[in-house]
Structure 1
Amino acid sequence: MSKIVIAIDGFSSCGKSTLAKNLAKKLSYAFIDTGAMYRAVTLYFLRKGITDFKGLSRQRVIDLLKEINIDFRFNESKQFSDTYLNGENVEDEIRSTAVNNAVSALSQVSEVRAQMVALQQQLGAKKGVVLDGRDVGTVVFPDAELKLFMTADPVVRAQRRFDELQSKGVEISLEEVKTNLEQRDYNDTHRKEHPLVKADDAIILDNTNINREEQLQLALDLALERIG
Structure 2
Amino acid sequence: MGNIAIDGPAGAGKSTIAKMVAKELGFIYVDTGAMYRAMALFMIKSGISTDKTEEISATCKDADITIKYENGEQVVYLNGENVNGQIRTEEVGNMASVSSANPDVRKKLVELQQKLAKTTDVVMDGRDIGTVVLPDAALKVYLTASSKVRAERRFKELTAKGVECDIDVIEKDIIDRDYRDMHREFSPLKQADDAILVDSSDMTIDEVAKKIIELYKTV
Q: Which residue of 1 aligns with 2:25?
A: 27
Question: How much does 1:106 deviate?
Answer: 5.6
* Pairing 1:146–2:139 present: yes
Cα 1:71–1:198 change in 2 (3 A) is: same
8 Å contact kept, 2:38–2:83: no
Q: Which amino acid aligns with 2:108?
A: Q
* Pairing 1:192–2:185 present: yes
Aligned with 2:57 (options 51, 59, 62):
62
Q: Which amino acid aligns with 2:178?
A: D
Q: Which runs of 5+ in 1 are unaligned?
A: 51-55
Cα 1:180–1:73 change in 2 (3 A) is: farther
SS of match in other structure, 1:164: helix
Q: Which amino acid aligns with 2:118?
A: A
Q: Which amino acid aligns with 1:181?
A: I
Aligned mates of 2:119, 2:35 — CA distance in 1: 19
Aligned mates of 1:27, 1:21 — CA distance in 2: 10
8 Å contact kept, 1:33–1:133: no
Aligned with 2:152 (options 146, 159, 173):
159
Aligned mates of 1:189, 1:201 — CA distance in 2: 18
Computing the radius of gyration from Cα coordinates, the structure with the larger value is 2
8 Å contact kept, 2:61–2:108: no
Q: Which residue of 1 aligns with 2:198?
A: 205
8 Å contact kept, 2:7–2:125: yes
Q: Which residue of 1 aligns with 2:2?
A: 4
Question: How much does 1:178 deviate?
Answer: 4.1
* Pairing 1:173–2:165 present: yes
Q: Deviations over 1:40-72 (max 9, x none)?
A: 6568889x874xxxxx45413225646866554
Aligned with 2:110 (options 108, 111, 117):
117
Count of aligned positions = 211
Aligned mates of 2:34, 2:124 — CA distance in 1: 11
Aligned mates of 1:106, 1:121 — CA distance in 2: 19
Cα 1:124–1:60 change in 2 (3 A) is: same
Aligned mates of 2:120, 2:60 — CA distance in 1: 26
CA RMSD of aligned residues (A): 3.6
Q: TM-score, normalised by structure 2?
A: 0.77
8 Å contact kept, 1:71–1:83: yes
Cα 1:124–1:219 change in 2 (3 A) is: same
8 Å contact kept, 2:36–2:100: yes
Q: Which runs of 5+ in 2 are unaligned?
A: none
Question: How much does 1:80 deviate?
Answer: 5.4
Q: Deviations over 1:84-125 (max 9, x none)?
A: 77714368668xxxx69x85x764431121111011101111
Aligned with 1:87 (options 77, 83, 102):
83
SS of match in other structure, 1:124: helix
Cα 1:115–1:202 change in 2 (3 A) is: same
Q: TM-score, normalised by structure 1?
A: 0.74
8 Å contact kept, 2:129–2:135: yes
Aligned mates of 1:212, 1:201 — CA distance in 2: 23
Aligned with 2:119 (options 114, 126, 130):
126
